[in-house]
Structure 1
């Protein structure tokens, strides 16, 4: 798995007028465009909010929390752990696909284990207070099977209204062991 703690390259198409505005703003600020873009992305993400998923183990609407706060609480350099945490929060945070992938893990006895998925939320539990649902998983098994879980959800999406259990999907693919 790639080292997710270093800078990554993204590519985006933007309106030529916005590109010119970035050039001018970067020149005015005496900054590189890349640095300015990083700042703008962070500012933009900082304006997003969502229902707080960490109060009393369930989302309480009307109790908004900053998206970046939740992101910082659940982010981990381990991509599978991060995606599983994000998905466990629910579609309000990460969208339907990751949420459904996490439900495969959290809703199954097969993936139960000793690892506390949220643990101390990177120190945020002391800051926020309250409680959240505990999920104990076999993280090594989840990491091993994550590509299968991703393909399972994609299979279900592409073959609606067909409903197949994760175990049956693995059997169909010859992946049961």
Structure 2
């Protein structure tokens, strides 16, 4: 599988955008977590080639719009991930959590119809290869505490604050 990598500057540092020949987003991670991204790519695709190349303009435009406050801009980005069917169900459910909202791992487990699977949901959440677009940052601990985030807790905090502030500004 041929994959293309473009670096993209953002308010949270440099992002690594990985797309396929059809322009589908396969991975998105932060430069300082590149090892994690490459590990997930190997796990999900086993055999692939990653070369420098441009991400589609609509992906970059959506990211710019998101950081400028248009939180729904990421909704139309087509994502294609590897992973198990269970992981893909979790990642699909993550995309239904509205910007500015959060849920717990137990809530997410109930959402996918497996209320006893909160630990497995947490593992799938941690294996999400597409940060921001598949918004794993919106999942928090049952007690409301911020829990781990593949891009660092400070970024999770920033993202949740960014989304909450934009929702306040919009009157939601």
TM category (shorter chain) comes to under 0.3
TM-score by length of 2: 0.26
More strand, by proportion:
2
Asked which structure has the greater RCO (Cα within 8 Å, sep 6+), the reply is: 2
Q: Which is greater in Rg?
A: 1
More helix, by proportion:
1
